[in-house]
Chain A
């Protein structure tokens, strides 16, 4: 006899359980989205540092290096990397601040947690648009 994950024998579980395989109807709660975004932006930032530290090292080494970096930053690839990095950093900081606030015992309820999650996603999108417009 197969065992249900909860430990209940499969025989005793109602056979007709709702099956939901329509992916567009399955949605994660906001708090789950902020969690995965925090991970994605964190990993992305780690690799973005290759460019950030590389560009910084080059820009402080000599006037020629500074000019080369400036030229790169004016190209589309440089702009995409810069905007992407700043966007990821701003999200990661917002998520981190939310974590610090939750460490102090607030926004830990279902409703307040989801509201703060929605708020930081909203602020992040606005910040990304502002940075995108300013740097492009």
Chain B
């Protein structure tokens, strides 16, 4: 009980739900961006800047970035446990990759903040 709470890694059901819930958000964002590029004849700086200065778009973008972090936390763990057998090395690689995922979120947050 204590271990499972302290490890931040919850049970399989939570991983199952998280990977799907985040996938839906990221797919929605991808389709929205696809629609934006198809429906906008010429993407200009003004239009591009205006898109991301909209509060709804900021929330959508940030939700997508958070989803990426949660999704890769599970996905990369699944892949690493299959191919990197040495526990120490796997922990190190996972640390670095999760750190990069956090950087994605942090960069996104501060860029959105400044728009």
- Chain B's closest residue to A63 (CB) is B45
Q: A96 near B: Cβ within 8 Å?
A: yes
Minimum Cβ distance to chain A for residue B63 (Å): 15
- Per-residue CB contact flags for chain B residues 66-90 toward chain A (1 = under 8 Å, else 0) read 0010001001100100000000000
Q: A103 near B: Cβ within 8 Å?
A: yes
- Per-residue CB contact flags for chain B residues 52-69 toward chain A (1 = under 8 Å, else 0) read 100000000000000010
Q: Which of B18-75 contact A (CB under 8 A)?
A: 20, 23, 27, 30, 45, 48-49, 52, 68, 72, 75
Minimum Cβ distance to chain A for residue B70 (Å): 13
Q: Is the CB of B27 within 8 A of A93?
A: yes
Number of A-B contacts (CB under 8 A): 45
Provide the main secondary structure of the chain B interface. helix
Q: A113 near B: Cβ within 8 Å?
A: no
A interface, CB within 8 angstroms of B? 39, 42-43, 46, 49-50, 53, 56-57, 59-61, 63, 66-67, 89, 93, 96-97, 100, 103
